[in-house]
A and B are shown apart, each in its own frame.
Chain A
Amino acid sequence: MIRLEKRPQPSQAWSLATPLVAVLATMIAGGLLFAALGKDPVEAIRPIFWEPLFGEFAFYYRPQLLVKGAPLVLIAIGLSLGFKAGIWNIGAEGQYIMGALFGAGVGLAFYPLEAWYIFPLMVIAGGFGGWLWASIPAYLKTRFGTNEILVSLMLVYVAEQFLASMSLGLMKNPEGFGFPGSRNLQQYDSAHNAELIAGSGMHWGVVAALIAVIFAYVLLNRHMVGYHIRLTGEAPRAARFAGFNPTRLILFCLGTSGMLAGLAGMFEVSGPSGQVSIDFNVGYGFTAIIVAFLGRLHPVGILLAGGLMALTYIGGDIAQSNLHLPSSAIQVFQGMLLFFLLAFDLLTNFRISLGKPEVA
């Protein structure tokens, strides 16, 4: 009989090995899927994991990993703080949009003035926009006890309508012949979140994501607030007896995650994306929830998980065009990868043993 025994301590060795085991398992299962679709499994899987990192055009794809991964990591770091404390911000997508709108709004308001202070102001506005949007569920929760899951989620849809309305109205490019979408901030130097080193993929959003990882690590491990967060998540009653103020924690966690999501949106709209448009948001706010949990809510884990997600997106697109695979096959493949990563995590916390249960 197969049994699970909880390990007294999570296994260090397995916590490093499980991602590799999971990737291998995905390659096997995914290979079967691709074979079933009539493709050579090896040829199908190589572009996903190998091409972007070591292939012929890796010089282009490697920087793209940073571009794709940075917003995911930045948002996931913020979400993880709340998730650890049992505060559920599901609406990062909306905060991401509002951050972009506030940031771009400030930039566009200054157009065509060129000045050094425009970009910093946009950063502040972006963070503020996300913070503001996340403060609505925070306020309603602390004031009325309204569930933050529902409010933050509904506000995503509201933000999407704002985005559409801005792209069609107030922020529409006056030189765009009536087409929707704002001016392209890539062509406005003072507002452009350009690559810090050309061709490296490093823009301020990547820097911000790395800073956020360090910040979250220090906060969680070395700071009273981090202790407070962890205690609230693991033993809410104990946290209250210890005299922690739950209202302030809610405001802090939701506010911080909103701010980081807003910053991610702002760096995206002023850099890689360049403009406010109806379809500006592409689901980073939701994918970041997966990234946060995949990284076990640990800052370094999130960094790695964000990188892995970015890899499968970029590699998936390569596989699509190289092998005429439908994007749905790539989605299934990604789903499998996530399943295996989650399932094999078991080995970190549990030991599988054969035989009869010992009598306790």
Chain B
Amino acid sequence: MKLTNLMTSAAVALGLATAALAEDPTKVGFVYVGPVGDGGWTYEHDQGRKAVVAEFGDKVETVYVENVAEGPDAERVITQMALQGADLIFTTSFGYMDPTNNVAAKFPKVKFEHATGYKRNTDNVSTYSARFYEGRAVQGTIAGHMTESNIIGYIGSYPIPEVVRGINSAYIHAKKVNPDVEFKIVWAFTWFDPAKEADAAKVLIEQGADVILQHTDSTAPQAAAQAAGNVITFGQASDMAEYGPKPRVSSIIDDWAPYYIARTKAVMDGTWTSTDTWDGIGAGMVGIGEISDAVPAEVKAEALAIKASLADGSYHAFTGPINKQDGSAWLAAGETADDGTLAGMNFYVEGIDGDIPQ
């Protein structure tokens, strides 16, 4: 394994160089799957990077590469960052999982953080993700109260566990406050196509939905709702406050800043260890955007109460009794879902119509 040796020695050499020059800034790399100007997923990760710069100033140097395709391109870019002396590398897409672990095996001195994955093959890899479904619980509560047609439209990207979990969480909480509520789900089968998202939102509104939840990142559904009039929406990934106070009545914000700052600090202090983080509202990784005045005060209070109980851990968004779609029991009364089942969730809960495309 000539290359591995070469790389290890290169890494060691760089490691030594870093050790020798203690004044050297900590170098943090970020690998992005989209452009930083996508206004959603990658944009929020880059906000996190900027927060790291703001926090540590001259003591850090951050680098990023955007629009990195998953697969060999990602592996090359991650390797490139490691070769060029990065101390800590955040890889921010699920598809970077295997490339991240491959590179980590070759650079034992460099720390790697992979977002939304589950593989930590070596002890210099951590994984982190956010419990966005907690935000969905708050959304579902507001949506259930606010809908008059009792039809809630939901735009999904691809039927992956992350999205399915969000649908279930929103449905459970909407149903709890409004037993007549019905979900109409449209899969866009794309991560990013604003025009298609706009169409999907229009279709849902035309079919009677007066609340639109989206698991895609563009503001297209917001604009469609605004044009339609009496429809409410929630910002996704970023706050989308420009569409408030209506249609956008609240939002789920990906806030990676606290985590990125904490992990960078850990590398600086030498306290970094391999961990699996799955944080929610409590740790500040999931932000709930300002609930606008379009929401009645008592609904707002109820939503905030749920948010508070999720934050302090006194309430879990998946608390039994909950049955699966086919009627079989999943959680008994008072039982809460375990993280393993949640992470790989591939079923709807009872009451949701339709099948998950498999």
Contact = CB atoms under 8 A, between A and B. Distances in A.
Q: Do chains A and B touch in the complex (CB under 8 A)?
A: yes
Given A177-B343, A178-B346, A321-B84, A164 B158 contact: yes
B312 to A, nearest CB: 28
B83 to A, nearest CB: 5
Interface stretch (A57-65, A111-119, A350-358): A57-65
B3 A60 contact: yes
Contact of B73 (A161, A165, A178, A282): A282
A327 B98 contact: no
Contacts of B29: 321
B267 interface: no
A143 interface: no
Contacts of A268: 71-72
B352 interface: no
Interface in B47-67: 63-67
Interface stretch (B74-82, B145-153, B221-229, B251-259): B74-82
Contact of B343 (A60, A178, A180, A272): A178
A10 interface: no
Given A177-B340, A322-B84, A327-B67, A164 B189 contact: yes
Contacts of A168: 158-160, 357-358
A199 B6 contact: yes
A321 B161 contact: no
A282 B83 CA distance: 24
A278 interface: yes
Contacts of B63: 321-322, 324
B68 A317 contact: yes
A267 B344 CA distance: 30
Contacts of A282: 69, 71, 73
Interface string B135-164: 000000000000000000000001111000
A119 B344 CA distance: 31
B345 interface: yes
Given A57-B80, A199-B6, A326-B36, A279 B343 contact: no
B160 A320 contact: no
A199 B3 contact: yes
A318 B80 contact: yes
B93 to A, nearest CB: 9
A285 interface: no
Given A179-B160, A314-B76, A279 B69 contact: yes
B95 interface: yes
A184 interface: yes
B83 A60 contact: yes
Given A177-B344, A273-B71, A327 B66 contact: yes
A63 B75 CA distance: 13
Contacts of A135: none
A228 B39 CA distance: 52
Contact of A68 (B66, B72, B158, B346): B72
A256 B1 CA distance: 37
A67 B118 contact: no
A352 to B, nearest CB: 39
B333 to A, nearest CB: 25
Contacts of B70: 277, 279-280
B357 A317 contact: no
Contacts of A180: 158, 160
Contact of B64 (A186, A313, A321): A321
A59 B65 CA distance: 21
Contacts of B340: 177
Interface in A277-321: 277-280, 282, 313-314, 317-318, 320-321
A321 B84 CA distance: 10
B293 to A, nearest CB: 38
A275 interface: yes
A12 interface: no
Contacts of A164: 158, 189
B35 interface: yes
Contacts of A103: none
B299 interface: no
Contact of B83 (A57, A275, A280, A327): A57
Nearest to B160: A180
Interface in B318-348: 340, 343-346
Nearest to A320: B65
A66 B186 CA distance: 41
A37 B63 CA distance: 17
Interface string B255-278: 000000000000000000000000
A60 B98 contact: no
Contacts of B69: 279, 282
Given A64-B76, A317-B76, A321-B29, A181 B95 contact: yes
A120 interface: no
A94 interface: no
Interface string B1-25: 1111011001000000000000000
Contacts of B79: 60
A328 interface: yes
Interface of B: 1-4, 6-7, 10, 29, 35-36, 63-73, 75-77, 79-81, 83-84, 94-95, 98, 102, 117-118, 158-161, 189, 191, 340, 343-346, 357-358
Given A57-B80, A64-B76, A186-B102, 8 more contacts: A67-B72, A67-B76, A68-B72, A179-B160, A199-B2, A272-B75, A279-B95, A317-B68
22 contacts: A60-B6, A68-B72, A168-B158, A169-B358, A177-B161, A178-B161, A178-B343, A181-B95, A198-B1, A198-B4, A268-B71, A272-B75, A273-B71, A275-B98, A278-B158, A318-B80, A320-B65, A320-B66, A321-B64, A321-B77, A324-B63, A327-B67
